Amino acid sequence: MKNLKTCQSCGLPVESATSKHTQTIYCNHCYENGKFKSPNLTANEMKKMVKERMQKMGVAKAFVDNFTDGIDKLERWNKNKTNVF
Ligand SMILES: [Zn+2]
């Protein structure tokens, strides 16, 4: 899995990087023409969207839950948090 790039917004694998200007990589579901498609989206809303998308794809619920828990750790959502370490 290490060779796979994951979108730093939704956590899904990115087939082609959307942007060369940013260090972060977002898929074209999340990011287009230099900006987020839903700039006001929260991490929780993103989780819901990804959950629905994966469930439609027939992914097992346990895996979906596990996967969406990781969304909090992606760069897009981490920037808005203060680090508590
Ligand atoms: Zn994405």
In a domain, 73, yes or no: yes
- The answer to whether residue 85 sits within a structural domain is no
| Residues spanned by the domain of 65 | 1-80
Whole-number Å distance, alpha carbon 10 to ligand 1 midpoint, is: 4
Structural domain includes residue 60: yes
Ligand 1 center–CA 6 separation, angstroms: 8
Helix H or strand E encompassing 36? strand 35-36
Task: Assess contact for 15 and 6: CB atoms under 8 A.
Answer: no
pLDDT, tens digit, for every residue of 10-22? 998 887 655 555 5
Please count the structural domains in the chain.
Answer: 1
Full pLDDT tens readout for the chain, 85 residues: 445 688 999 998 887 655 555 567 888 889 988 889 999 999 999 999 999 999 999 999 999 999 999 999 999 998 655 554 4
Q: Determine the distance from the C-alpha atom of residue 74 to the mean position of all C-alpha atoms in its chain, rounded to a whole number.
A: 7
- CB distance 4 to 71 below 8 Å: no
Q: Which residues surround ligand 1, an ion (CB under 5 A)?
A: 7, 9-10, 27, 29-30
Residue 32 counted as domain residue: yes
Residues 6+ apart with CB under 8 A from 50: 10, 11, 12, 64, 67, 68, 71
